[in-house]
Structure 1
Amino acid sequence: MPRFGVAGNPPAFFESAYGRDRLNAPRWLAEIGLDAIEVQCTRGVRMSSERAAAYRAVAADCGIEVSIHGPYFISLGNPDPAVGENSLRELQKCVSLAKALGARRIVFHPGSAGNEPRAALERAIALLMRFERECDLDGIWLCPEITGKRRQLGSLADVLAIAREIRSARPCLDLAHHHARTGGSLNSQQDVADVLDAVEAAIGVGALSECHYHFYPIEWGPGGEVRHRAFDDIMSEGGCALWPPASCELFAPRPEPFIAELVRRGLRPLVICEAKDSQERGATIMKQLWREMRGVVGVDY
């Protein structure tokens, strides 16, 4: 079955009996019935090799799949060569940590598109080609993420272009970010199918289960992402979407069409929830939906 898990450690972890030590996160996840964690290195790769080895042992014992999210300051499309070199150094740190953790996926934001998005994409691809040649990835997937802001490098087309050129790359399909930067485009099962069809056409059917998935509701505006939302956040006064005016009660995208399409295609990917301060609740909802929908594959959402 798919694996469902959390990005980082939600508030509920720290409120639990396990919360005094992040090393206990896999134990907590196993206890609540989840299967995966995306370790957050967004402010830099700081975990020691000793700590990583201990974390790996606990995760393996608990049956938790580990992935990592690289630093936000990776910026592969930047025209400054020094920024590009620093970005590759940070990616190398991520690879070293991934090996120590037993992680098979490294998620990262490609960076700013600047005023020349095509040139930025070409620079990013060139740097990743070099990185792939020079770095022993040992089966680790590099996962460029669909980003939430329209001025960022990281549209669906961008991450597919990277994956076509880089053999060790598979997209991080952040469907909430895609929803935000495309003006709220994921509202039905067919909308989800269209995204997955595009991935399939670009890099092959088998790649769909190798991709890394992020899913959660999001608030968005004219420039794309505003903030992550919880699955039960209501679009009401003081909490409504900035644009367009609220037309439904709960923030989108909703999990039912997404999970229904996973079931229809027989996919068993890794799905990470980034719902605001409630990652474990969102992941649990999606896992339960998957279990329920296996018996009603013909129902469209």
Structure 2
Amino acid sequence: MTVSHAKRQNKLLFGTAGVPISSPKPDTLSGIKQVRALGLDCMELEFVHGVRMNDKTAADVQAAAKEHNIALSVHGPYYINLNAAEEEKLVASVKRIYDSARVGNLCSAQNIVFHPAFYLKDDQKTVYDRVFQRMTDLKNTLADEGIPAILRPETTGKATQFGDVDELLSLSAEIDGVLPCFDFSHIHARDGKHNTYAEFFQIFEKIENRLGKEGLLTMHCHISGIEYSAKGERNHLFLDESDMNYKDLMKVFKEFGACGTIICESPNIEKDALLLKKTYEEADV
């Protein structure tokens, strides 16, 4: 699978990380219906504490997503480290990604997002090589089982975590069926930079240079307000209560003609998702 095999949207979709707060019920089926009622387009299934959806429910989720024309993605469990020193933790990490992809496929979700690894005490190249091998093996397993997942390692918010933009673009250029999840809040929080029009523009140029135009037409992104320190990400905030420069970011999305999905992870997920969508639609380019 190459970049071109990722499901290409013909526009930029906006949605929520999990079931909207305003949903009458907190379950996934109600959430999908509420996303559509709000005028949003996509929703990320939050498997962050474990993949606990059975196959019957997954089939119902797929049907609901089709009925309401909602694009789904999956956020895998937090407890993943493809650089784990202990074999038990490594095996468990790979299984969590695999389970996310298998159940996500049953739900019609192709994009499988996860935090890839920690450096621990290892150097950058050693960790890159380990993550590369483990993701290659996992992609081969998924391909053998006919699971057309796009594995989306997420840009991470701390310097202790593997997953800056360059690392993930390199993985994506080298491994069939792997593409980044660009968490722009994490990118900003990682070093307190990458929050100006010029810096956003440079990131998009880098994406196009490494992955081609298709890389910009199959994007999957997270955006929220973010609190951070010298050590990186601390927690998510409302967009307008943070320094996240989402207005210029939306302008750059529009200028590059980027397509795909934007998932809002602010505490008020649907309000900020709608704010992002409105800002994008009104951006003057």
Give the structure-2-normalised TM-score.
0.91
Q: Does 2:194 match 1:185?
A: yes
Q: Which residue of 2 aligns with 1:232?
A: 240
Counterpart in the other structure of 1:280: 270
What is the CA–CA distance in structure 2 between the aligned matches of 1:21 and 1:142, rounded to whole Å? 25
- Secondary structure of 1:164's counterpart equals helix
Partner of 1:215: 223
Aligned to 2:62: 56
For the 8 Å contact 1:148–1:180, the answer to whether it is kept is: yes
SS in structure 2 opposite 1:261? helix
Name which of 28, 33, 43 aligns with 1:27: 33
Cα distance in 1, alignment partners of residues 248 and 51 from structure 2? 35
8 Å contact 1:150–1:224 — kept in the other structure?
A: yes
The residue correspondences of 1:117-196 to structure 2 (distance < 5 A) are 117-136=124-143, 138-187=147-196, 189-196=197-204
**Equivalent-residue separation in structure 1 for 2:243 and 2:177 (angstroms):** 31
* Same amino acid, percent of matched pairs: 27
Contact 2:189 2:227 in 1 (8 A): yes
For residues 95 and 269 of structure 1, what CA distance do their matches in structure 2 show?
19
Q: Alpha carbons of 1:22 and 1:139: their partners in 2 closer, same or farther (altered >3 Å)?
A: closer
1:20, CA displacement in angstroms? 5.2
Kindly indicate whether the alpha-carbon contact (under 8 Å) linking 1:143 and 1:211 is maintained by their aligned counterparts in 2.
no
Amino acid at match of 2:88: A
Q: CA deviation at 1:103?
A: 0.5
Q: In structure 2, which of residues 204, 208, 213 is the aligned counterpart of residue 205 of structure 1?
A: 213
Aligned residue for 1:271? 262
Report the residue type matching 1:290 in the other structure: Y
What is the CA deviation profile of residues 114-170 of structure 1, one whole-angstrom value per residue up to 9, with x for unaligned ones? 111321221111111111222225432100000111101111122112212211011
Residues 39-71 of structure 1: CA distance to partner in whole angstroms, max 9, x if unpaired?
000111000111111111111111110000011
Instruction: Report the residue type matching 1:56 in the other structure.
Output: Q
Amino acid at match of 1:89: K
Structure 1 pair 20–114 and aligned structure 2 pair: CA distance change class (3 A): closer
- In structure 1, the residue matched to 2:249 is 258
Name the counterpart of 2:8: none
Question: Cα RMSD between the aligned structures?
Answer: 1.4
Q: Secondary structure at the match of 1:232?
A: helix
2:48/2:77 contact within 8 Å kept: yes
**Which residue matches 1:46?**
52
Post-superposition Cα deviations, 1:89-128, rounded to whole Å, max 9, x if no partner, equal: 1121112111110001000000211111321221111111
The superposition leaves residues 7-35 of structure 1 with CA deviations (integer Å, 9 ceiling, x where unpaired) of: 0124333xxxx225432111111111000
Evaluate the alpha carbon distance shift between residue 221 and residue 81 of structure 1 in structure 2; reply closer, same or farther with a 3 A threshold.
Answer: same
Larger-gyration structure (1/2): 1
> d(CA) in 2 for partners of 1:160 and 1:79?
25
**Higher relative contact order (CA closer than 8 Å, sequence separation 6+):** 2
Report the AA paired with residue 170 of structure 2.
A
Instruction: Give the paired residue count.
Output: 272
For 2:202, the aligned partner's letter is D
Structure 1 alignment gaps of length 5 or more: 234-250
